[in-house]
Structure 1
Amino acid sequence: MVYTIVNLTSVLVIREVEDFLAEYPLDHPYQVFFSRSYFRHKLIAHILCKIPNRHIVVEDVENLPNNSNYLRFSLEERLKIENLIAKEIPYILNGDSTIRCREFVTPKAPINQGFVWEENYN
């Protein structure tokens, strides 16, 4: 029998990040920047490192219950995660990351009608 350890806290953090970003329009810098999996994973990792993580051991990951009973977190835990999301997004955007948003997002036109990614990792 093969067992798998599932990090329940990461499931909650991912949902909370998605909910937080959903509050902004698609052309908002938060949406544009964190649509990149690298930056989204970096945000999630920053948050997970700052809170206690809850795990379960399951036999078959594909047969996890569809209900969210196993994702019961206290209001205090959820609020802490929401506050960390709000705190970590500017931290990552404002240059504490080696790659900054403005290096990747450039306006399509002088009147800022939208954004285009520029791959420039140097």
Structure 2
Amino acid sequence: MTKATINLTGSLVVEEIDFFLAAYPEGHPYRAALSHPEQRRKLVSWVLSRVPNRYALLQDSQGRPIYPDFQSASLEKRLKVEEIIKTGIEEILAKR
């Protein structure tokens, strides 16, 4: 059976970035800057380097990885990640 190690926190960070950016109208500087894949990758990496990461080793009966959703993340953790995302966006935009 094949096993996979996945970063569960990465899923949360991507989800929270999408949610955060959806709150801004089209054309907003945050949305415009992060519409570029490289800038988005920088933000994800920036945030992941500043929060505790949680990993899982997952597989199904045929050895395929199973990717759970991250609904189990506490509100406190989601708010902390959102705060770090805001700071990260400002940092990344300042370096452009």
The answer for the alignment partner of 2:83 in structure 1 is 83
1:100-115 → structure 2 map (5 Å cutoff): 100=96
Question: TM-score under structure 1 normalisation?
Answer: 0.70
Question: Does residue 1:74 correspond to 2:74, yes or no?
Answer: yes
The answer for the alignment partner of 1:107 in structure 2 is none
The answer for the alignment partner of 2:2 in structure 1 is 2
1:51-62 → structure 2 map (5 Å cutoff): 51-59=51-59, 60-61=64-65
Identity of counterpart residues, as a percentage? 39
1:5/1:58 contact within 8 Å kept: yes
The answer for the alignment partner of 2:92 in structure 1 is 92
* Shift of residue 28, structure 1, vs aligned partner: 1.0
Give the root-mean-square deviation of aligned CA atoms: 1.4
4+ aligned runs moved over 6 Å, structure 1: none
**AA at the equivalent of 1:2:** T
Higher relative contact order (CA 8 A, sep 6+): 2
**AA at the equivalent of 1:51:** V
**AA at the equivalent of 1:22:** A
The answer for the alignment partner of 1:24 in structure 2 is 24
Other structure's SS at 2:51 match: coil
Structure 1's unaligned 5+ residue stretches are 101-122
Question: TM-score under structure 2 normalisation?
Answer: 0.87
